[in-house]
Amino acid sequence: MIDKTAGITEQTTTKDEEMPPAPPHAVEGEADDDDDDDDVAAPDIGGEKKKKKKKKSKKKKAAAVVQSDPPRVGLSKLFPNGVSPPLMSPLLFSNSFRTTSEEKRYIEREIENNPETTYSSIRRAAEVHRQVRAHARRTIRPGMSMTEICENIENGTRALVEEDGFEAGIGFPTGVNLNECAAHFSPNANDKTYLKEGDIMKVDFGVQVKGRIVDSAFTLSWNPDYENLITAVQEATNTGEAGIDVRLGELGGKIQEVMESYEVTIGTKTYPVKSIENLTGHTIGLYQIHGGKAGKSVPIVKTNDQTKMEEGEYFAIETFGSTGRGRVAESGECSHYAKLPDAPRLRKDDSLIKHVLGTLHNRRARSLNTINKHFGTLPFCRRYLDRVGETSYLYGLQRLIKDGIVHDYPPLKDQPGSMTAQFEHTILLRPTVKEVVSRGEDY
């Protein structure tokens, strides 16, 4: 049995020798004692499947397919039988005091059938995230441009997820946030920023399969002075206190406690690590990075929010630490945008004098058509508009923002000169286990 209060860093099973190879993602909760003859989450490339399995299944073994470097092999080639462990895998199911086995399975199926949380799509998106970030973490170096870093991640994502319109693709713009910038920076076309040795960079990217977005982020630095800041944030994200019936305000307090138990010495100066009080984790909805049926925010400081996390909910748990004030403000040129889920439709005649404003009016309509065609409510950035051939769109975009159809998300920065770090995982609150879907060997 596994301690349910364990942090999300804990693996669930103590029966490694009887289990199939551990899937690359972690699940929290109690392990089942049932015998296992399920399929595994790892690619069938090593031919290490158990003998017992051969008797039962006449399925042909898939030919060995390995990932390329840089990663460009689609998941359907690596995992011809799908990424997800089957629904009844004891790795994901557990004996529980909450419900009987039959009830559990029923609830699990309900969640599986809920388009917002279909397990197989989530696991596919998560596997793409793990493989793309593994390469990013190996290859990102000072001297690279922000654009190069983003394009590597985005090309990897498009290839591995086998990009296909709204069916599968990028979940939101790649965030490459340096130093005091905590979130929402992605280079625009003219950007000339290069990564430097002394920078601390948060890489935040997302993958979507059938609208289920996996959102996960990590921090890189080449200056050992930042290590404590990075550890503080990683530990805070892994606090492991999230779960069904947990109150959001209390969870924020637990996260803050871990975060603020650290200090960091940079050069000769020592700083307390602060949780950034006005950044939060969030529920993830179908094609909506921040939302879902009941959009909830996960604070990273103690608040009196009594709202509870609920069964079946899907959360991005992200924490941000800072050597600065611990507060961010919007600053700098915007790159990130998203159509509002409840955006009003364009009204034909709401432009004052159409024959005067005609061209400008059309620019707004053209921008909206492009957004509807390529992104819907998924966040996008200016580079993604450039890429689909859109030109001179800024005026149209600006109008859509004024009309409350599109929301702009400028970079979020703490004080100049401060250093910030971020770690983020996507979790699924299943009836009996908390599945950290984006968990990998790296973080």
The binding site for a divalent metal cation comprises: 204, 215, 282, 318, 424
1: its two tokens: 């049995």
CB proximity list for 371: less than 8 A, separation 6 or greater: 339, 380, 400, 406
DSSP for 233-294 reads HHHHHTT----TT-BHHHHHHHHHHHHTT-EEEETTEEEE-EE-TT-EEEE-BTTBSS-STT
Q: Residue 351: helix, strand or coil by DSSP?
A: coil
Q: Residue 4: helix, strand or coil by DSSP?
A: coil
Provide the minimum distance between the beta carbon of 185 and ligand 57R in the complex, in angstroms, as a whole number.
Answer: 10
| Residue among 42, 77, 73 nearest 62 (CA) | 77
- Does the footprint of ligand 57R cover residue 336 (CB under 6 A)? yes
Q: Which is nearer to Co ion, 316 or 397 (CB)?
A: 316
- Count of residues near ligand 57R by CB under 6 A: 17
Q: Which is nearer to ligand 57R, 208 or 323 (CB)?
A: 208
- Does the footprint of ligand 57R cover residue 322 (CB under 6 A)? no
- Does the footprint of ligand 57R cover residue 397 (CB under 6 A)? no
Q: Report whether 411 contacts 177 (CB < 8 A).
A: yes
| Residue among 125, 126, 170 nearest 376 (CA) | 170
Provide the minimum distance between the beta carbon of 200 and ligand 57R in the complex, in angstroms, as a whole number.
Answer: 16
Q: Report whether 99 contacts 431 (CB < 8 A).
A: yes
Closest residue to ligand 57R: CB criterion:
379
Residues 365-384 binding ligand 57R (CB under 6 A) are: 379
Which residue from 278, 307, 398, 415 is in contact with ligand 57R, where contact means CB under 6 A?
278
What per-residue string of b and e applies to 125-162 under the rule 16 or more CB within 10 Å gives b? bbbbbbbbbbbbeeebeeeeebbebbebbbebbbbbbb
Residues 183-202 binding ligand 57R (CB under 6 A) are: 183-184
Q: Which is nearer to ligand 57R, 43 or 285 (CB)?
A: 285
Provide the minimum distance between the beta carbon of 305 and ligand 57R in the complex, in angstroms, as a whole number.
Answer: 12
Which residue from 153, 338, 421, 429 is in contact with ligand 57R, where contact means CB under 6 A?
338
Using CA atoms, how far apart are residues 228 and 322, in angstroms rounded to an integer? 11
Neighbours of 253 (CB within 10 A): 18
- Does the footprint of Co ion cover residue 215 (CB under 5 A)? yes
Provide the minimum distance between the beta carbon of 427 and Co ion in the complex, in angstroms, as a whole number.
Answer: 13
Which residue from 279, 317, 428, 437 is in contact with ligand 57R, where contact means CB under 6 A?
279
Q: Report whether 300 contacts 280 (CB < 8 A).
A: yes
**DSSP run (H or E) holding 202:** strand 200-209
Using CA atoms, how far apart are residues 237 and 7, in angstroms rounded to an integer? 10
- Quickly tell me which residue has 């069938």 as its tokens: 44
| Residue among 47, 2, 53 nearest 29 (CA) | 2
Query: Taking CB within 5 to 8 Å according to partner kind, which of ligand 57R, Co ion, none is near residue 289?
Result: ligand 57R
Q: By rule CB under 6 A, what string of x and - marks binding of each residue 398-427 to ligand 57R?
A: -----------x------------------
In this chain, which stretch among 78-86, 143-151, 330-338, 432-440 interacts with ligand 57R, using CB under 6 A? Answer: 330-338
Q: Which is nearer to ligand 57R, 111 or 406 (CB)?
A: 406
125: its two tokens: 């998106």
Query: Taking CB within 5 to 8 Å according to partner kind, which of ligand 57R, Co ion, none is near residue 79?
Result: none
Which residues belong to the annotated binding site? 184, 204, 215, 282, 290, 318, 424
Which residue from 289, 300, 334, 436 is in contact with ligand 57R, where contact means CB under 6 A?
289
Which residue from 204, 235, 241, 435 is in contact with Co ion, where contact means CB under 5 A?
204
Q: Which chain residues interact with Co ion by CB under 5 A?
A: 204, 215, 217, 424
Q: Which chain residues interact with ligand 57R by CB under 6 A?
A: 172-173, 183-184, 204, 278-280, 282, 289-290, 318, 336-338, 379, 409
